[in-house]
Chains A and B, each alone.
Chain A
Amino acid sequence: MIGHALTAGYAVLMGAVTGSLLPLALEFPFEWHYIRSIIRVSLHVSLVAVTLSTLCSIPVALLIGFKEFRGKTLVTSLINTGMGFPSVVVGLVVLFAVSNEGPLGTFDLVFTPEAMIMSQFVLAAPVITGVTLAAVSSVDQNVRDAAFAMGGTRIDVALVTIKEARYGIATAVLAGFGRAISEVGSVLIVGGNITGPEGISQTRTLTTAIQLEARQGRFQTAMLLGAVLVVLVLLVNALVIRLGNGGGRYR
């Protein structure tokens, strides 16, 4: 269901952002296409990163949540520690990886959106895994037993658990998205805050644009961009929550 939100919601979101900010645009100190390209890069990078993180994190969280094994507490602590990774450190690690001399140097990824997706993936994955793990762990064992007793395969049991824990999982995805779209340290390092010809953003996100404005002492425009970011996050949250409610109706 989250998948549908992303694919269908992308266009809707762009429209909604454009629409809701139009009155504001009259006194906007930037070219409108500049803002639009920054929003597009921000959304593209963060949504792809969070989607990929979600696809990796939920199976991992289910696996850890269902299985009892030695060192489970340790693994859980490691995941929870990962939630606190400083984004600058993640940025540096990814930079070393994608740099020309690094292990992924042949792919020419440095200063590209793909490198930014990688670093946001690393940042969002522990958050999504950790919160999802907490959510699925709190699903009653009886529910799982019942699904199994009714002849469900392991995948069916997993799907029932996901359904039961969907609010927790939605929170996990939103927390991961919040972490991804709001961080500035790593995308600045691996992305380089680049705009191309005619002021079209290539690796400039809302956060790095805010940083640039603040560096030049233009605090008002920095605040304005901050407001755009908040509106954007609010819209994504509203979309996911609405989707969660929609799923509830068909129970």
Chain B
Amino acid sequence: MAIQRRQFLASAASVVAAGLAGCAATGDDDESRPGVSGETLTLTTTTSTYDTDLLDELNAPFQDRYGVSVDTVAQGTGAALETARSGDSDVVMVHARSLEDEFMADGYGINRRDLMFNDFVVVGDSDDPSSIGGGEDVPAAVTAIAETESTFVSRGDNSGTHTKELEMWEGAGIGSDEFGSWYMEAGQGMGEVLVQTDQQGGYTLSDRGTYLSMQDEIDLEIHVEGPVEGGPELLANPYGIVAVNPAVHDTVNYDLAMAYIGYITSPEGQEIIESYTVDGEQLFFSEALAEEPQFQQYVPEEWDG
């Protein structure tokens, strides 16, 4: 019996050792290299930028140059900002100006820059049961969807796209109390909602980038174009990038966050955004570089000094 006990203790000890070794191996930092090398930048962003794989292209040169790693966490705009509010990320890349302004007004964000834009499109089944195809009038299109009670899949997740979609209904004078069983809140990312819309043969509002990158997997068509293809300005989709305020959260990696913002808004970063294509189509358009001062990007929308 004593021998058995020794065996048991030996195996228990080896398990503990293995566990500790595992923890140690993942937790160490290389202190010997100079500067920012070896540090980690946590970027919370939206599923629409993540799922298009643009960030892989953008981050690789940055990671190489500084010897750092960019940890990208894809969430909805609401969740991405919330993570940043608790100081768990260093920089946020999102697309809902009203939520970004609120984030900065509350003191959590600092040094916002306009980054890039594309647009939203109303996509749906190729049968087009509400016959909205080809129209440029967003309010008329969504009114038609509501009147014919065609399935509409909403993100329902407080994301940038969801925020825009609610603006769209509001613009048509349709309140959330008028949503019937045809209006479905998926509570999921853009890709999932597109798949769901495809399965159910309805309509949804999507950013053009995610729609284009998933075109091969789904059978949906664009019925109302956004401003990139000459549609209404209401469907514009501007992306901004904001650093987390180090005065509020002293643990954030502010230096590296600003280096990242600097890189991504530089001619090099903007060139990568401009030249990124999926199936020959450009997904995002650069917006950070301009000879004229663009004061609007530093202050809340409709700020008059």
Contacts and interface: CB of A to CB of B under 8 A. Distances in A.
B137 interface: no
A152 interface: yes
Interface in A202-227: 202, 214-218
A48 B23 contact: yes
A48 B19 contact: yes
A55 B11 CA distance: 11
B192 interface: yes
B73 A55 contact: no
A4 B15 CA distance: 7
A193 B72 CA distance: 8
A114 interface: yes
A143 interface: no
Contacts of B12: 3, 55
Interface residues of A, number: 44
Contact of A7 (B18, B23, B63): B18
Contacts of B1: 152, 156, 159-160
Chain A: interface secondary structure? Answer: helix
A155 B290 CA distance: 76
A113 interface: yes
B115 interface: no
Nearest to B196: A217
Nearest to A58: B12
A48 B22 CA distance: 8
Contacts of A36: none
Interface in A163-216: 163, 192-197, 199, 202, 214-216
A48 B213 CA distance: 37
B194 interface: yes
A49 B118 CA distance: 43
A214 B26 contact: no
B106 to A, nearest CB: 14
Given A215-B191, A217-B194, A44 B14 contact: no
A215 B86 contact: no
B97 interface: no
A38 to B, nearest CB: 15
Interface in A1-16: 1-4, 6-7, 10
24 contacts: A1-B11, A7-B18, A10-B18, A48-B23, A55-B16, A99-B87, A101-B86, A108-B251, A110-B88, A112-B26, A113-B26, A155-B5, A159-B1, A159-B8, A160-B1, A162-B8, A192-B71, A196-B71, A202-B69, A202-B71, A214-B192, A215-B188, A216-B213, A217-B195
Given A111-B73, A215-B195, 16 more contacts: A1-B11, A3-B12, A3-B14, A3-B18, A48-B19, A52-B19, A55-B15, A99-B86, A100-B86, A111-B88, A159-B4, A163-B4, A197-B60, A214-B192, A216-B51, A217-B198
